[in-house]
Structure formats: C-alpha cells, structure tokens
Amino acid sequence: MTTHQIELAGVNKYYGAYHALRDINLKIRKGSFVALVGPSGCGKSTLLRSLAGLETISAGDLVIAGARMNGVPPRKRDLAMVFQSYALYPHMTVEENLTYSLRMRGVGKAEARRKAEEVAATTGLSNLLGRYPRELSGGQRQRVAMSRAIIRNPKAFLFDEPLSNLDAALRVHMRKEIRALHDRLGATSVYVTHDQIEAMTMADHVVVMRQGVIEQQGAPLELYDRPANQFVAGFIGSPAMNFVPARAGADGQSLVLDLDPPQTLQSPKPVAAGRALTVGIRPEHLQLSGEADAALRLPVGSVESTGAATYVTTATQPELVIVLNSRVTIRPGEMLPLHFDPSHLHLFDKETQVRLA
Ligand code: ADP
C-alpha cells in the first residue's frame, strides 16, 4: 500500500501551444498539508484544477489513493475544492449550503441534517445554521465554505486561494483555523497561494513553482535555509534576500562583492578563482558589530522603525536591506559595521542562478 494519497508523475499540460505545466513530479503523503506557491501565472491553479479533474492533463499520470485518475470526471475523484468564501449559494441558508451536495447525491433529509450539525459543531457554526451568507462575517463565510467541503468526507481538500478576500488580521486567524481543522480531521490538503508567508506557516511541504516548472519542493525551513536557486531564494523570506554580484578572489577563498563601495569577504567555501557569482544574504542575518570585528562596512541610506524592528536600507549600489531586531539609533550617511554567520551566505552561479553545492 502506498502512503501517498496523491501522486503526479511526468505531468504536462498544454493550453493550445502554451506549455502551462512542465514535467510535474509530486508525491503528497496522506495527512500532509502541501502548499503550491509562486507568482501569478506560474501554473498553480492549473495544477490544482488538474488534480480536481477540471482540466485534463496532456501527458503523465495522476494517481489518487492508489487509483489512476487520468480522464476520470471530477465528481468521481472524491476530492473537495474550497474556494474563496463568495462561492456560497446566497439564497440558501448555511444548512442548505452544507447539505446541498449530499441531497444531490440522494442522501435523505434527516441524515443530511444530522451530518450538517456534526460538521457545524467541528467548525463552530452550530448557532448559525439558519442564517444566510449575507448575515455572516467574512470568517464565518469561510468556515461555511470549509464545512461544505468537510461534509463530503473527501480523499483530499483542494484550496484555491481561499483567504485572498479577507482582511489581513482575519487572514492570519483563518490560516491557523484551517491548519488546526486539517490536523483535527487528519485530512490531506493541497493549498494554492501566491503568498509565501501563508505557504510557509501552514504547510508541511512547500512546492515553489515558476513558469509551469517546480523550482524546488521541501519542508518550509529547508527552502529557507537551502534555496536551490536564486528564484526560490528571492521568493521565500520577507523582506526578500539581498543579492550582490561578486567574483571569487585569486586565492579562491575570498569573495569580492561588486558593491559601490566594493567589499571583500571570506568565502564560506572554496570557489574557483575569478568565478562570477551572485552572493545572497537575508536582511535578518546581517547584524551590527563592533568596528574591530566588522565583516562589512556599509553606508546608511534610510532607516525605518516599526518599534519591534529597525529596517535599514544601505546607500550602496545595489541597495541592501538590513533588519535589526533591536531599537538602535542610526542616521543616514553613517557607516555601519556589520557581521554575519558565514553559514548564512548563499552562493549562486551568476549565469545559471543555481546554488553552489
Ligand atoms: P496561477 O494560478 O499560478 O496564477 P494559472 O494556473 O491560472 O496560474 O495559469 C498558468 C498559465 O496558463 C498562465 O499563463 C495562464 O495565462 C495560462 N492559462 C490558464 N488557463 C488557461 C486557459 N484556459 N487557456 C489558455 N491559457 C490558460
């Protein structure tokens, strides 16, 4: 028996001549929460819709719970899609919204009602079953959308940007609520989002896509610690990783950063002399140091404080962003002595943008 609830092998999708999914290989463990993340147009909705059967794949294999599903119609795949909350039927009460799919499948009224009450108790909607969607808050509507999926007891939940309609505070709250519900139900979930924070905080396994390709997949912190290429490095983490063009020194042990003013660093690993690179360092990994042990000295361009953190932008070309988790008085024009843990430097090949092993 496979422990994978969903398996995609060599999946490709064309819209006419447009190659929307390129050789997708993905295994989704039973009980896991997988996020598909990437910029708009990268193919994440196409991938989700292909799982659901709303799109037919052009090549490859799709297996759900051990059975090949290519060509099987959506209603026979036993998956539930959760959309943004506005996909509720406005003229139906919460209970009717929940029981609609059951009633369509011939489940009796009393049985459907019993199931609605059971699910409503799980999602905190017990007192709202008689209300219409317009009489609910955004968060409550999202719970109805979730409940409507739960009541079908599907093999997996497919979420398509379900929180993008909600305001920032509610989004943070619903993130936790959806994840907690997933754990409570022992569900398998696939969640599409363009928001890397959402992906990082909710998922066990994050799949980063670009232009129809899976750029990298793995545990959230694996992607943060060891991004496979510059795209993933820049996409995961906020504020984004700083990138500086550089060249390995003649000794193969140092890195000469092409900054104005230029700076030389000790390389965390040997690199062929003269090799052209891009050096990455995250804003939160640059820290203030004493003059004596500074690895970098950079001129301050601007300073912003949120109270909890101080954001410094350097007056260099390219600009670097530094996040200091302390309240410090720094003024534009000052030279800032900085240090960092060498293991926090990321080296990428200049041409291929691939991480150096
Ligand atoms: P995402 O969800 O990551 O924003 P989509 O999966 O919706 O991206 O789209 C991926 C690419 O496929 C986009 O370039 C989009 O324009 C294209 N695309 C999506 N649906 C169709 C379609 N029905 N016909 C033609 N092209 C499509």
Decide: 141 in ligand 1 pocket, CB within 6 A: no
Concatenating the DSSP letter of every residue in 79-140 gives: EEEE--GGGS-TTS-HHHHHHHHHHHTT--HHHHHHHHHHHHHHHT-GGGTT--GGGS-HHH
Decide: 196 in ligand 1 pocket, CB within 6 A: no
Contact 162, 85 (CB under 8 A): yes
Ligand 1 atom closest to the Cα of residue 49 is: 6
Residue 129 has which token pair?
A: 């079953």
Out of 40, 46, 190, mutate this one to test ligand 1's pocket (max ligand atoms within 8 Å of CB): namely: 46
Decide: 18 in ligand 1 pocket, CB within 6 A: yes
**pLDDT exceeds cutoff 90 at 350:** yes
**CA–CA separation, 343 vs 263, rounded Å?**
18
**pLDDT for res 2:** 56
Which one of 71-75, 84-88, 279-283, 323-327 scores highest in mean pLDDT? 279-283
- DSSP class of residue 204 equals S
For residue 168, count other CB atoms closer than 10 A to its CB.
8
Region 93-115 average pLDDT: 94
Q: Give the chain's mean pLDDT.
A: 94
**CA–CA separation, 263 vs 327, rounded Å?**
27
DSSP bridge pairs for 287:
339
**CA–CA separation, 68 vs 72, rounded Å?**
8
Give the contacts of 214 (CB within 8 A, at least 6 positions apart). Answer: 24, 25, 26, 207, 208
**CA–CA separation, 256 vs 267, rounded Å?**
9
At 165, the pLDDT band (50, 70, 90 cuts) reads confident
Decide: 45 in ligand 1 pocket, CB within 6 A: yes
Q: Whose CA is nearest to atom 16 of ligand 1?
A: 41
Q: What is the pLDDT of residues 271-295, one digit of tens each?
A: 999 999 999 999 999 999 999 999 9
**CA–CA separation, 238 vs 167, rounded Å?**
19
Whole-structure pTM value? 0.94
Decide: 89 in ligand 1 pocket, CB within 6 A: no
18: CA distance to ligand 1 center in Å? 9
Out of 12, 14, 18, mutate this one to test ligand 1's pocket (max ligand atoms within 8 Å of CB): namely: 18
Q: Which of 26, 67, 38, 42 is nearest to 205 (CA)?
A: 26
The 10 Å CB-count burial string (b at 16+, else e) for 129-150 is: beebbeebebbbbbbbbbbbbb
At 265, the pLDDT band (50, 70, 90 cuts) reads very high
Q: Which of 157, 214, 192, 190 is nearest to 11 (CA)?
A: 214
**CA–CA separation, 146 vs 88, rounded Å?**
10
Concatenating the DSSP letter of every residue in 129-192 gives: TT--GGGS-HHHHHHHHHHHHHTT--SEEEEESTTTTS-HHHHHHHHHHHHHHHHHHT--EEEE
- Among the residue ranges 166-175, 250-259, 292-301, the one predicted with the least confidence is 166-175
Decide: 20 in ligand 1 pocket, CB within 6 A: yes
Decide: 50 in ligand 1 pocket, CB within 6 A: no
Contact 40, 69 (CB under 8 A): no
DSSP bridge pairs for 354:
229
Domains by residue range for the chain, with CATH: 4-235 (3.40.50.300), 242-349 (2.40.50.140)
Decide: 127 in ligand 1 pocket, CB within 6 A: no
Q: What is the pLDDT of residues 237-247, one digit of tens each?
A: 999 999 999 99
**pLDDT exceeds cutoff 60 at 1:** no
